[in-house]
Structure formats: C-alpha cells, structure tokens
Amino acid sequence: MKPRILALSYLFPNRAYPNFGIFVLNRLKAVQKYCNITIIAPIPKFPLMETFERFRGYSRIPARDTIQGLNVAHPRFPVIPRFMKWWDSFAYWAAVAPLAHKLRNQVDLVDVHWVYPDILAAFMISRLYKKKFIVTVRGVEALHINENSFRKKIIDFLLLKADHVIALSQHLRSLIETIGVPTRKISIILNGTDNHHFQLMDQNQCREQLGLPKGIPIIVSVASLLLSKGHDLLISAVSKLSDQYNVELYIIGGTGSEGDDRAAIERLMNSLALSNVHLVGRRPHEELALWYNAADLFCLASRSEGCPNVVMEALACGTPVVVTNVGAIVDIVEKEEEGHIVEAGKIDELEMALRNGLERTWDRKLISRRGQRRTWDECARQVLEVYNLLLIGNYEANITK
C-alpha cells in the first residue's frame, strides 16, 4: 500500500500567487506518483488585508482548491503583521487542527515543507495521533538564525523533536546540526527540474516570442523583488558594464507575502539613471523557459538561498549562470563550463564575472545536458526513501510503480 502523507506548507501556490512556493508543488506532484498526498496550505488573514498590495487577492482564495491535480485545503489563520510572530504558529495550528482530526486515520506521516509557522502543527499532530513527522528546511531564513525571540526558541525546540529533517544543501545541514539535530536524522535532498519543459531552445526564436531585441547581450534574473535576492548588487554591477557593453538586464519577479522592496530597487535604478534595466514583474512559470533561453547569461546575486530552482532551470535550458556562493549553489553548479560562482555581496567580483561571462563562448548544449540530470522524479525517490525509513525502517524498500 502506498504511504499516506499529510503535507503542511505555508509556502504553496494559490490563486492569488500561482508561483508562490512552486518548488513545493513540484516536489509533491512528483511524490504523488509513489504516495497518497493530502495537502493543507493555510492562508494568513488580518483586517484590511486587501489594502496591502502583496496580499491582494487573498480573500478570493477558496477554502478548497485543485492545483495541477493536487487537492489542497486553504484554512485561514489570523496574524498580526510584523508583530507577535510567535503567535502565528499557534493560530496556524488552530486552523489546521479540525482538518487534522478528520484525517487522523487516513495519514501515516506528516511532511512539513516550510519550517515556521508549520512546525508546531506537525508536532501536535504527531503527539495527538502518534504520527511521525519530517521537516524540510529550504533556506537560511527559515531557521531565523540571528533572532533572539520566542519564535526562534519554538523552531529550535521542535526541530529537535522532528523524526527527520531534510536540508536542501550541505550548508543548511551544518546549520541544523548546530541546533543539536543529530547528523543521522538529516538528509540532503536537492530540488529537481521539469526537464520536459526546461530544455534548450533557439535563442532568437525565444527573443522574438518575448519581443526582446536581437543581436545585443541580455542578462536575465528571476527572483522576488527583495533586497535579499541581491537585485541592488546586480543592478550596480550592470551599471558598471554599460561603459563597454550595450547590455540589457531583465528582472523577472514581483512582490508577495514575503516582502516588497520594489521602491528601494526603483530608487537605485533612478539614481543610476539606467534605461537598460527592466522590472518585468511576475510571469507565468511556464514562460520562464523562454526567458532563460533568450538570455546570454542568467544571474542570481542572492545574499542567501536554499536550493534555488531558477538556477537549475536556467542550466537545464543551457544558459550559463553567474551566481553567488550561497545555499546549494556549489552542489548545483559543479563545473566551470556551467558558469561563475562569486562571493555574496561583492559587487566588483560580480561585475568581473558578468564581463567574463559575456566575453566567453559557452557550450550551451553541454550545459543543458548536465543541467537536465537532476529531475523531480529523482528528488521524489529520495524523499520516498526517507518516508520508508521512518515508516518501516528500510531505506531499500521497493518503490511502488
């Protein structure tokens, strides 16, 4: 019989933000081939929520939905924006509790896809209904490393109570170990890519479809409009390139419940008087393959990351990358033939890497072939091994076909 998994995830696509946590959706879609999946993705609520741009549309998200073939419940939980963040986990649990009680005999294991505020609900379900639970740590920000708060105490205490923790990089595993979680209880499982969609295409045809200019260098970046994504560093580096290159930079991404630094980014663009930097906004996920293929370089200048799928997708499309050495980057970009890795926060290093990347002739077929080795199905099989270890104590259990 297939394992019955209850997935909890604050970070999950919805009708207001269809790309929000798309990597969680993709992993669960792949895992569903081997397991029966039930998904609860609670939605925050507070008075006058719709007056905030990044929460616009949340009131229209249905309580139950079907997203790419997966059934999802969206119970609401009250929050106080920016304040009393310790409260969020208790409100989240109160919203999940009635559904968890109904499902108590239909679930073998609880799978948490975002650490906070999800983790308390998983712990309560595990204690009330004697279920094991695992937690996936997707980025440094999920651990709230530098906080001295009750929220941080909740996170550390409950990570120690988890039956298993999945980290998306070697760096994250080391941070989880400093909390006290034993190494034997931590697995490293990278994300995957949809290689049927993200593949090498003709660059000029992609530019034509997107209405982009031909014959000039194009750099593309895909990330939410947050300063933590290093957009300010990338824009500053591109401004220094303009003395030598007629280069265009397209930044794809919008605001969301995780934050909004658009105003600061636009101020920087105005102060530098740049006309070659374009904030494209959010684009459908299926359109990104065109942007990767249209680009001469893909750049992600983040100050911190987990396992950035956008880098993996760009490589699968054969696009060379310039990326900062954060999260799982060193696990993803393994060869110099795939791109350049620079230290985070170093504008001069970033500028030099971009210059080298634009001057170099890249073997895009080779990059695509290497980038396509990591699939979501491979990721799902590794996750299933963790499930089997916890449920029947056997990593070598047969995978249901």
pLDDT of residue 399: 41
pLDDT of residue 400: 40
CB neighbours of residue 214 within 10 Å: 10
pLDDT of residue 230: 95
CB of 97 closer than 8 Å to CB of 8: no
Give tens-digit pLDDT for 108-152. Answer: 999 999 999 999 999 999 999 999 999 999 988 899 988 999 999
Residues present in the chain in total: 401
Cα dihedral across residues 303, 157, 259, 42: positive or negative: positive
Average pLDDT rounded to a whole number, residues 208-226: 95
The DSSP code sequence of 237-260 is HHHHHTTT---EEEEE---BTTB-
> Where does the pLDDT of residue 222 fall: very low under 50, low under 70, confident under 90, or very high at 90 and above?
very high
pLDDT of residue 398: 42
Residue 133, H or E segment: strand 132-137
pLDDT of residue 318: 97
Mean pLDDT of the chain: 92
Chain centre distance of CA 212: 27
Residue 367, H or E segment: helix 364-371
| Strand 70-73, strand 64-67: pairing | antiparallel
CB of 111 closer than 8 Å to CB of 9: no
pLDDT of residue 51: 80
Instruction: Report the distance separating Cα 244 and Cα 155, nearest Å.
Output: 49
Cα dihedral across residues 43, 47, 50, 52: positive or negative: negative
pLDDT of residue 260: 80
Instruction: Please say if the pLDDT value at position 372 is more than 70.
Output: yes
> Where does the pLDDT of residue 257 fall: very low under 50, low under 70, confident under 90, or very high at 90 and above?
low
Which domains can be identified in the chain, with CATH numbers? 4-192+375-392 (3.40.50.2000), 203-371 (3.40.50.2000)
Average pLDDT rounded to a whole number, residues 93-102: 97
Average pLDDT rounded to a whole number, residues 282-293: 94
Of 392 and 213, the structure prediction assigns the larger pLDDT to: 213
Q: What percent of the chain is predicted at pLDDT more than 70?
A: 97
pLDDT of residue 19: 85
Of 22-31, 149-158, 334-343, the least confident? 334-343
129 Cβ contact partners less than 8 Å away, ≥ 6 residues apart: 100, 104, 107
Give tens-digit pLDDT for 336-365. Answer: 899 999 999 999 999 999 999 999 999 999
Instruction: Please say if the pLDDT value at position 47 is more than 60.
Output: yes
Number of H helices, E strands in the chain: 14, 16
CB neighbours of residue 336 within 10 Å: 8
pLDDT of residue 397: 44
CB of 345 closer than 8 Å to CB of 233: yes
> Where does the pLDDT of residue 42 fall: very low under 50, low under 70, confident under 90, or very high at 90 and above?
very high
pLDDT of residue 256: 63
Instruction: Please say if the pLDDT value at position 396 is more than 60.
Output: no
Of 40-54, 95-109, 363-377, the least confident? 40-54
CA separation, residue 19 to residues 222, 254, 262, 303, 339 (Å): 12, 10, 18, 21, 26
324 Cβ contact partners less than 8 Å away, ≥ 6 residues apart: 230, 300, 301, 302, 303, 305, 341, 342, 343, 344, 345, 350
